[in-house]
A and B are shown apart, each in its own frame.
Chain A
C-alpha cells in the first residue's frame, strides 16, 4: 500500500478561489514533508517544505502539518490558470522521498 495517499485525485477550481489538497501518510516517524508541482511533461518544482507541526507559507502556497493525525495539506491562495498542474506530496524516509500519486488541479478563468 502506498505510504502516502493524496486526495482528491483531481480538483477543478475557479481562478481566485482557494484550492485545498490533502495528503495522509502511513506512519508518523518522518518530520520532513514537501509539496511539489509538476506541469505536464515537466520536472518537479518544490513549493513548500515543512518539518514541524503547524503552518508554513511560501507565497500563495501554505502547508499545514499535523503529525498526530498523519496529515499534511496544501492550500493555494488565489489560484491562476498557470497553477494548473499535478501536485505531489512527498515524505522523507530513510533513503529518500516517497511520493503520493498526485492531485491534478485545473484552474479555470
Chain B
C-alpha cells in the first residue's frame, strides 16, 4: 500500500524556535513536495525536491528551507519560526513531475 507519512502530526512552538517537519514515502518516488494550507489561500507550494540534494523553490519559499539526503525522506525546516507560519503543512510525492501526487496526512503547526 503506497504511503506518505508525516511527523509530527501536531506541533506547538514559540516564535523564534526552530521547527523540523519530517516526511517519508515508501514508493521510491523521485519527486517530493511541501505545501502549506491556509483558509482563504488554499494549498501553496513551498518547495520541490527532484531527488537527493536537488531542491527547488516553489511559490512561497521565504522563511523555509528543506533537506533531502535520502530519496525516501524530505524535511522542511523553519529557522526561527514566526507566528504567520502557523498552518497545516502537507508533504506529497510523485514518481515524476506531472505524475500523480500522493499526499501525507498533514502536520498542524501552531507558532505562538
Contact = CB atoms under 8 A, between A and B. Distances in A.
B105 A95 contact: no
A93 B60 CA distance: 15
Contacts of A2: 42
Interface residues of B, number: 22
Given A42-B105, A46-B100, A49-B100, A95 B40 contact: no
A27 to B, nearest CB: 16
A101 interface: yes
A30 to B, nearest CB: 10
Chain A interface category by residue count: 20 to 34
Contacts of A45: 103
B48 A95 contact: yes
A79 interface: no
Which of A41, A44, A49, A96 has most B Cβ within 10 Å? A96
Contacts of A102: 42
Given A32-B98, A95-B56, A44 B103 contact: yes
Interface in A86-109: 88, 92, 95-102
B98 A92 contact: yes
Contact of B42 (A41, A46, A100): A100
B106 interface: yes
Contacts of B102: 46
Interface in B83-112: 90, 92, 97-98, 100-106
Contact of B101 (A46, A98, A100, A101): A46
Interface of B: 4, 33, 40-43, 45, 48, 56, 58-59, 90, 92, 97-98, 100-106
Given A95-B45, A96-B45, 8 more contacts: A42-B105, A43-B90, A44-B92, A46-B100, A49-B100, A95-B48, A95-B58, A99-B42
Interface of A: 2, 32, 34, 36, 41-46, 49, 88, 92, 95-102
